[in-house]
Amino acid sequence: MKTQQLTKTRIHLCISVVNIALFILTTLFFTVLTAPAQTTEQNAYARFLNNGMEQMKAADYQGALNSFEQARRYNDSSAAAHLGLGIAYFHLRDYQHAERELNRALEINPREATANQFLGELYYRKDDLDSAASYWEKAVEFDPSASGLRTRLERIRREHKTEKDFNQDVTTHFLVKYEGREKIEAGRIVLRILEDAYSEVGHALSYYPDREMQVILYSDQQFQEVTDAPGWSGGIYDGKIRIPIGGIEQKTQGLRRILYHEYTHAVVRAITPRVPTWLNEGLAQYFEGREIDGRQKEMLRRIAQTDKLPPLSNLEGSFMGLCGDQAVFAYMLSLSSVRYMIDSFGMYRVKDILEELAAGADTGKAISNGIMLSYEEFDINWKRSLE
Ligand SMILES: [Zn+2]
Residue at 7: amino acid letter: T
111 CA to centre of ligand 1 in angstroms? 37
262 CA to centre of ligand 1 in angstroms? 6
- CA 74 to CA 80: how far, in whole Å? 12
338 CA to centre of ligand 1 in angstroms? 13
Angle between helix 184-205 and 277-288 (nearest 10)? 120
- CA 205 to CA 190: how far, in whole Å? 22
Give whole-number Cα distances, 48 to 31, 42, 53, 128, 298, in Å.
Answer: 15, 10, 9, 34, 54
Q: Are strands 233-237 and 11-14 parallel, antiparallel or unpaired?
A: parallel
Q: What is the pLDDT of residue 10?
A: 38
231 CA to centre of ligand 1 in angstroms? 15
264 CA to centre of ligand 1 in angstroms? 8
261 CA to centre of ligand 1 in angstroms? 6
Task: Indicate the burial class of 72 (C-beta count within 10 angstroms; 0-12, 13-18, 19 or more).
Answer: buried
Residues whose Cβ atom is located within 5 A of ion ligand 1: 12, 281, 284
244 CA to centre of ligand 1 in angstroms? 15
Asked whether the beta carbons of 334 and 288 are under 8 A apart, the reply is: no
191 CA to centre of ligand 1 in angstroms? 20
Q: What is the pLDDT of residue 322?
A: 78
User: Which among 46, 52, 58 is positioned nearest to 83, based on CA atoms?
Assistant: 52
- CA 80 to CA 53: how far, in whole Å? 10
127 CA to centre of ligand 1 in angstroms? 23
Residue at 252: amino acid letter: T
How many C-beta atoms lie closer than 10 Å to residue 347's C-beta?
16
281 CA to centre of ligand 1 in angstroms? 5
pTM for the model = 0.75
218 CA to centre of ligand 1 in angstroms? 18
Residue at 273: amino acid letter: P
Establish how many alpha carbons lie within 13 A of residue 52's alpha carbon, considering only the half-sphere containing its beta carbon: 32
233 CA to centre of ligand 1 in angstroms? 9
Where does residue 89 fall: left (phi above 0), alpha (psi -120 to 50 degrees), or beta otherwise?
alpha
SS in 3 state form for the chain? CCCHHHHHCCEEEECCCCCCHHHHHHHHHHHHHHCCCCCHHHHHHHHHHHHHHHHHHCCCHHHHHHHHHHHHHHCCCCHHHHHHHHHHHHHCCCHHHHHHHHHHHHHHCCCCHHHHHHHHHHHHHCCCHHHHHHHHHHHHHHCCCCHHHHHHHHHHHHHHHHHCCCEEEECCCEEEEECCHHHHHHHHHHHHHHHHHHHHHHHHHCCCCCCCEEEEEECHHHHHHHHCCCCCEEEEECCCEEEECCCCCCCCHHHHHHHHHHHHHHHHHHHCCCCCHHHHHHHHHHHHCCCCCHHHHHHHHHHHHCCCCCCHHHHCCCCCCCCHHHHHHHHHHHHHHHHHHHHHHCHHHHHHHHHHHHCCCCHHHHHHHHHCCCHHHHHHHHHHHHC
- pLDDT by residue for the chain (387 residues), tens only, comes to 323 333 333 333 333 334 444 544 555 555 555 555 578 888 899 999 999 999 888 878 889 999 999 999 998 988 999 999 999 999 888 889 999 999 999 999 988 899 999 999 999 888 788 888 899 999 988 888 877 888 888 888 888 888 888 888 888 899 999 887 767 888 889 999 999 999 999 999 999 998 889 999 988 888 887 877 665 567 889 889 998 877 666 678 888 999 999 999 999 999 998 999 999 999 999 999 999 999 999 999 999 999 889 999 999 998 877 777 888 899 999 999 999 999 999 999 999 999 999 988 999 999 999 999 999 999 999 999 998
283 CA to centre of ligand 1 in angstroms? 9
Strands in 11-14's sheet, in edge-to-edge order, are 11-14, 233-237, 241-244, 213-218, 174-178, 167-170
- CA 369 to CA 361: how far, in whole Å? 9
180 CA to centre of ligand 1 in angstroms? 28
Give whole-number Cα distances, 357 to 207, 331, 353, 364, 367, in Å.
Answer: 15, 21, 6, 10, 9
275 CA to centre of ligand 1 in angstroms? 12
234 CA to centre of ligand 1 in angstroms? 9
235 CA to centre of ligand 1 in angstroms? 8
141 CA to centre of ligand 1 in angstroms? 33
315 CA to centre of ligand 1 in angstroms? 13
Q: What is the pLDDT of residue 17?
A: 38
